[in-house]
Every structure is written in C-alpha cells, then in structure tokens.
C-alpha cells in the first residue's frame, strides 16, 4: 500500500475552505482548588465532536486549552487543535459564552442526570441475580 502526501503550502492556488461552526457545547464543571474550571466537549457542524477541551482560569483570565496527551518528558502535546487564529477564537468564544451562561445552573442540576432530566430510577428497580450465574 502506498500513501501519498501532498503539500498544499507550496501551491499558488488559493485554498477554499468552508468555515466550520460550533453547533453544540457541553460543559462539565470541576470543583478543584487548581486552575481547571471545566472539561468541555464541542460539536462542529452537527457532525464531528471533540472531547476533553479544558477551561483554565489563567493569569490573564479564562481560556480554552485543547485536548492533549502527556509525553514521557513531562511536556504536553495537543491531540487536536485549530490551525488558524480565527477558528481558535471562534471555539474559545463559543465555549466561554456557554460556560458563563451556565454559571448558576450547577446548583439547579444537582440530582439531575447528564442529559438534564430528573433521575426517576430507584436503586430497588435494579436487580441482578448473581446466584444464577454461579450455578451454571
């Protein structure tokens, strides 16, 4: 199998790219003494989701950090990231807007499941008979 890689940077033709839109933002707030405030999942064009973005309370204010992995040397490397400033700003604005909009909702959502509905299930409704498996 042969893989071909084409370098578009050297072409003189102008690349035409459709601007993607953030169509969903899901915030999972974190209660910690550190600078991490929340984990975020974002969906682009109702088609592609990126998990584990982080909202960090930095020295210059809140910012969005891209998902990353820890390298053996102790550094972090982004797994996914925008390649231009316009998309980075669009992502950061959408995420921080949703973070601020949901600021007071963490108290209201206590006792709710992750989909926002009340938990109707009772522990007594769940039954597992382990004895049947042991007999076989």
Residue spans per domain, the chain: 18-102
Chain centroid to CA 33: 21
CATH superfamily of 18-102: Stage V sporulation protein G (3.30.1120.40)
| 93-119 residue pLDDT tens | 999 999 999 887 755 554 444 444 433
**What is the average pLDDT score of the chain?**
77
Banded pLDDT at 32 (limits 50, 70, 90): confident
Closest listed residue to residue 29, CA positions, set 132, 131, 90, 108: 108
């Amino acid at each position: 199998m042969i893989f071909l890689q084409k370098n578009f940077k050297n072409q003189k033709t102008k690349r035409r790219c459709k601007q993607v839109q953030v169509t969903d933002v899901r915030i999972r707030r974190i209660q910690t003494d550190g600078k991490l405030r929340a984990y975020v999942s974002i969906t682009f064009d109702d088609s592609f989701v990126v998990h584990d973005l982080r909202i960090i309370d930095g020295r210059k204010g809140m910012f969005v950090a891209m998902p990353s992995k820890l390298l053996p040397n102790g550094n972090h490397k982004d797994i996914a990231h925008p390649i231009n400033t316009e998309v980075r700003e669009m992502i950061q604005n959408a995420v921080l807007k949703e973070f601020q909009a949901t600021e007071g909702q963490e108290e209201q959502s206590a006792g709710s499941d992750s989909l926002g509905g009340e938990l109707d299930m009772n522990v007594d409704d769940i039954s597992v008979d382990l004895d049947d498996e042991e007999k076989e």
